[in-house]
Amino acid sequence: MTSKDSDRLAVLLREIEATLLDTIPETILKLRIDQPAYCLFIWYYDTTIAGDYTPQMGVGLQVLREACINAYSDGPNDYIWRPQQTISSPFPGFPYPFVDCEGPGIAEKCNECYRLMDVIYGSDMPLADERPMLKPFIDMICRVAQSLNRRDWRGVLASTDDFVVIGTDYIGYWLLEDIEASVPAERHVLLESRGCFDL
């Protein structure tokens, strides 16, 4: 590891963050979603996948949340906040709208970030928990989510009164930590008061 690696990683993260903030609303608008959504997920990946580390987005529709509550009344929240892992068959609101994040050179930049994080923070031995190694990228994705949570989505995406943007890992292993880092305090309180984060 050299300071040059760290400097390059910092530059890439700033560029990716700016690109995501600029392109995500337009990318979602192009999906032409005509139903209200309760969540926009921005999924990042751990290193178990091979190849492209470009984040993917999924839109959780209110019809899916209502169906989860009706079908899993004893504990719907895991299905609501991890539909990509918990629902695999036809279901109201599933498959959900999804799309890769877009922007100039974003795939190459994300892949280079992962390579640099492995050089800077990785180990020759398998890591029991990759989160510390991936933390710079995770922090960037959660900052994007925080910013988008302050955005007015009218004209882009119909949304519920408790709509949130969450940056989280695709597996959902770090979901609770990512919710804390992504969701503004007042929205978190609202969702907690409705029992939405009982996971």
pLDDT, tens digit, for every residue of 62-102?
999 999 999 998 899 999 999 999 998 889 989 999 999 99
Nearest CA-CA partner of 13 in 107, 110, 156, 128: 110
Contact (Cβ atoms closer than 8 angstroms) between residue 28 and residue 45: no
Q: What is the pTM of this model?
A: 0.94
Instruction: Please state the rounded mean pLDDT for residues 143-168.
Output: 97
Cα–Cα distance list, 146 to 17, 60, 139 (Å): 12, 17, 10
Q: Which helix (H) or strand (E) holds 61?
A: strand 56-61
26-71 tens-digit pLDDT: 999 999 999 999 999 999 999 888 779 999 999 999 999 999 999 9
137-149 tens-digit pLDDT: 999 999 999 999 9
C-alpha neighbours within 13 Å on the C-beta side of residue 48? 10
Instruction: Please state the rounded mean pLDDT for residues 175-183.
Output: 95
Contacts of 9 (CB under 8 A, 6+ apart): 113, 116, 117, 120, 136
Q: Return the domain boundaries, the chain.
A: 3-193
Return the CA Rg of the chain.
Answer: 17
CA–CA gap between residue 193 and residue 186 (Å, rounded): 11
Percent of the chain with pLDDT over 70: 96
